[in-house]
Structure 1
């Protein structure tokens, strides 16, 4: 926080993240109101997955080849306009499910470029020695917003409907735009003598050649695809399982965010551990186990503490992976490797949401989520033997 550019960027990100969480919660509720279908909750995830899977790696190349500041100005402005468009459609009472699907798709296109650029920019601002602290602070900014945003969204949805959450999210992007606009230029880091495709291939070869890197990618991919889709189906748990309504839905999301914030705060001190790889596998196992227990709960008093553990452990899974990658990858490859890291939550999680929604429509959502949680737990136990390069990382 001693670096002014990073401090201002971090504070602005909190404002924008609150808006993003408000939209996430309100959008899920609006889809359920329009369709009363878990399938469409999953389908909006697929709309996010398609551009994430097809564009994110190229977004990482752009982050290495272009001024990262200018890239963020374009992506943040675009994301804000899409949020405002959804809010206006909803406010005038003409929003349809296809509007939500289209805007989700376009927003994912923007984020496929924005996220790897943002990930690559942070070490430029703080220096390598401060990376663990910066990763923890970034995670805290996102997950702290996950406490405030859902709670505000729950109140707004109950009081005036979903449109207010979308409009406020659109306005929240102004905070990041103002800070990024005042940043100094960020010279390109990649090899400009190669084509974009050659840059991309070089990055993929680097990932494949290092057992630690692809092992870390696997350690985050399995929990992301099989475990993290649960959050998209929280409206179903709130309305059909726990029966707590829109306000309760916002509260459940906020509780999950509190757990995630606890996990985010723990990333920085745990990032200094000498056995971060082994710790990563332990928290992944705890994530799968707590999620499995949550799917079987029908009581709010049991679900709340489980959600806190779920939020904390999934955040630690991502935060420790991020820290290990940032400490391992050289600067000229960072954008491309971090784009692959970003591709996982942006691409695999929405794809997992689609699969979970389709399966849940047939066998119930709690059972579909429980199956995924079981896979995560089994993987974490097996990975302690199958991924020694990760387990031994300091």
Structure 2
């Protein structure tokens, strides 16, 4: 479960990240609370969130080009420092009593612009620290790291805001970035796995898009994650609506529901760390189950049934994220990995400004249950359809065998498949994927 922590460079990275992630969650809570206090408007909180995610939607692919072109450790030193500065600037404005809502908007936008570069660089840097053998484990531990901070950060922020005010939460977040910066500086560069960098040139953005579009094993997982991220991950909208309109509870209940989901996500991350492979069938199966569980939660007859369903929903959501992340990294040409991961992050995170208003409108007009049900239905249908597409692309068919001692349900090659044809097998032990648009790099196991 913790095999990648044997690597010194990754230990330094993970230690720094757990500190800064806790600070980031503190700032998220304090930022929303500050905007609400300054304006009294939930819409203003929504604008802050949109400004933070909008740069990823508009500029995400350019971040991937930068990640492929320059040394990733050096880029991370710059981006982590910039994130720390935004926290310290907001702390200074808040503690001095001069903060206005447009200051928060500007800080959120600046943080979003830095994230455009930081996210793909951080994702692609993992394989340089641990190598391909431990990549999946490291990606899973990164997610566990983030979810652990999600359990601690909001609780600390709530106590700090109540006792001393939002400004101190911003100050601690700004200072928390000293930990990842120190970790990056202490790394032994000689122990990093060498990665090819893309030379400076024109058309690199289009090259990345062509590369992904010519690889079904990359394209369809990204499309699936896009649907899930846009329509299935709108939990702030659904949980607040259920707490207020269905269960008629208070903010403490909202915190409990978020904690249950975070606990499920943490468990999912640790379970993912134990797996040695990233199978496409696991990604599709987790996505289908994720949608079905959301539908079940939408129809839950009572509070505790609803609350307990959030734990497996969190586990499935995290499994989708980790499986897609690690399989895309392993299947990508190292010289194009940054662009592939930037596209992954763009559709996963950048879909929020697009899907949230639509999901919020459905929830407001037709009620929380129908809004949550619609998100689960879209997620389950998208997963089922993309699963069928991958089966057909892989030249496979479903075989049901009820005999004792045999696998009852499995995918096998179709008899009509042309010999030697490129295919992306789903749920099998190996993959022979078309090399269209690659640079002679074979893909990993699905």
- Of residues 42, 46, 61 in structure 2, which corresponds to 1:42? 46
Change (3 A) 1:158 1:374: farther
CA contact (8 A) 1:155 1:250 kept: no
Instruction: Tell me, yes or no, if structure 1 residue 337 matches structure 2 residue 340.
Output: yes
**Larger gyration radius, structure 1 or structure 2:** 2
Task: Kindly indicate whether residue 7 of structure 2 is the aligned counterpart of residue 3 of structure 1.
Answer: yes
Which residue matches 2:412?
A: none
Q: Distance in 1 between matches of 2:123 and 2:327?
A: 13
Which residue of structure 2 aligns with residue 198 of structure 1? Answer: 203
Deviation larger for 134-143 or 87-96: 87-96
The offset of 1:19, in angstroms, is 1.4
Structure 1 runs not aligned, ≥5 long: none
Q: Could you say what secondary structure the match of 1:190 adopts? A: coil
List runs of 5+ in structure 2 lacking aligned partners. Answer: 392-423, 432-445
- Number of the residue aligned with 2:236: 231
Q: 1:307 aligns with which of 306, 310, 319?
A: 310
Residue 266 of structure 2 is matched in structure 1 by 261
Could you tell me how far apart the structure 2 residues matched to 1:90 and 1:26 are?
11
CA RMSD across the alignment: 2.7
Aligned partner (choices 109, 112, 116) of residue 112 of structure 1: 116
1:155 is displaced (CA, Å) by 3.2
Aligned mates of 2:68, 2:259 — CA distance in 1 = 36
Q: What SS does the aligned partner of 2:198 have?
A: coil
Q: Displacement, 1:87?
A: 3.4
The secondary structure found in structure 1 opposite 2:197 is coil
In the aligned structure 2, how far is the partner of 1:49 from the partner of 1:89?
23
SS of the residue 2:128 aligns to? helix
How far apart are 1:6 and its partner, in Å? 0.7
* Bigger shift: residues 199-208 or 212-221: 199-208
Cα separation, 1, equivalents of 2:375 and 2:101: 27
**Greater helix share, structure number:** 1
SS of the residue corresponding to residue 191 of structure 1 reads coil
What is the CA–CA distance in structure 1 between the aligned matches of 2:301 and 2:97, rounded to whole Å?
Answer: 35
Q: CA deviation at 1:147?
A: 1.5
> How far apart are 1:32 and its partner, in Å?
4.5
Q: Structure 1 residue aligned with 2:287, among 284, 287, 290?
A: 284
2:415 corresponds to: none
- Counterpart of 2:84 in structure 1 is 80
Indicate the SS of the match to 1:387.
helix
Task: Report SS of the residue matched to 1:189.
Answer: coil
The equivalences for 1:86-101 within 5 A come to: 86-101=90-105
> Which has the higher relative contact order, 1 or 2, with Cα contacts under 8 A spaced 6 or more apart?
1
Structure 2 counterparts to residues 289-300 of structure 1, below 5 A: 289-296=292-299, 299-300=302-303
- How many pairs does the alignment contain? 390
